[in-house]
Amino acid sequence: MRWLRNLFSRPAPEAAAPERPPAPSQAAAVTGWDSWRAVTPDGPVAVALDLSLEGRVPDPARPHLVRVSYPLRAPDAEGLPTAAEGEALARAEDALSAAFAAAGATYAGRVTMAGARHHLFYLADEGPAAEALAAAARGLEGYQPALEAEPDPGWRGWSDELSPPPRARRWMEDRRQVEALARHGDRPETARPVDHQASFATPEAREAFAAEAAALGFEPAERRDDAPAPSPFSIDLRRDDPVTLRHLHGVTWTLCELAARHGGSYDGWEPAGAARPS
């Protein structure tokens, strides 16, 4: 299904490519299953993936990619599932993940678009795939699955189709942190001091970043010269902001782009005074 790969390689018409994409965050990685969405020239795409696999990709023990695809029963006008179909889709996913796990597969994630859902599995050999699909038949009742397999030792399916682009990944990390604060009774609409971390290869780049950020109302709270290589020169910036997700994400993405312009990376945020992991 290389057409799916090609689709993700084309930017949406309204999305201009930046001069330099922001570097991935060096903050603690988001782990477990998560999801992101995108708008492509062929319509919206919803992706879910197991982010705990990031440090183990590619897996040389599982070089074969198997896709199980089927049309949605009643997609909405944009080709995505409706809530009414949610239970049936969850049943189908549970059946597939259990059957393929029994065959030694790693379930990497799924892509939903244009009225269809695609599940991506990695196996040592594609031989057991048909048997695994047959074992999942009861959970797939009402769907008409098709199976495609191809060698993918570099896990291009993961990197090209499942892995979130930088802004989607930043949104996911911001969302998780905002939700964690909410679970502790935080009132997100209340403005409070928020610290933002960034790191750079040289002290000159750090200071140029800090100067531009100052024009946006950020004040330096702390500078350190012992961050991990290759960007040991870090800085904390502080500004009062509410931590509603949409507002806070706009702030973090602005700082991501600003850090990238100076060859650095934006490393994350936390309420001022929060304890840091040792």
Domain coordinates in residue numbering, the chain: 31-162, 188-271
For range 64-74, the mean pLDDT: 97
Report residue 32 as tokens. Answer: 């477990």
> In this predicted structure, what is the pLDDT of residue 273?
73
* Pairing state between β 265-271 and 116-123: unpaired
Task: Note the pTM of the prediction, 2 decimals.
Answer: 0.80
**Residue 17 pLDDT > 90:** no
Say whether 188-271 and 31-162 share the same fold: yes
> In this predicted structure, what is the pLDDT of residue 217?
98
The CATH number of 31-162 is 3.30.70
Assign domain 188-271 to a CATH class: alpha beta
> In this predicted structure, what is the pLDDT of residue 278?
41
**Residue 12 pLDDT > 70:** no
Position 262 confidence tier, pLDDT thresholds 50, 70, 90 = very high
Position 30 confidence tier, pLDDT thresholds 50, 70, 90 = low
Which own/partner pairs from 33-39 qualify as long-range (CB within 8 Å, at least 24 positions apart)? 34/172, 34/176, 35/172, 36/164, 36/168, 36/169, 36/171, 36/172, 37/168, 38/12, 38/165, 38/168, 39/12
Q: What is the sign of the dihedral through the CA atoms of 137, 138, 139 and 140?
A: positive
User: Hey, is 39 helix, strand or coil?
Assistant: strand
Task: Write b or e for each residue in 183-199: b if 16 or more Cβ atoms lie within 10 A of its Cβ, otherwise e.
Answer: eeeeebeeeeebbbbbb
> In this predicted structure, what is the pLDDT of residue 192?
94
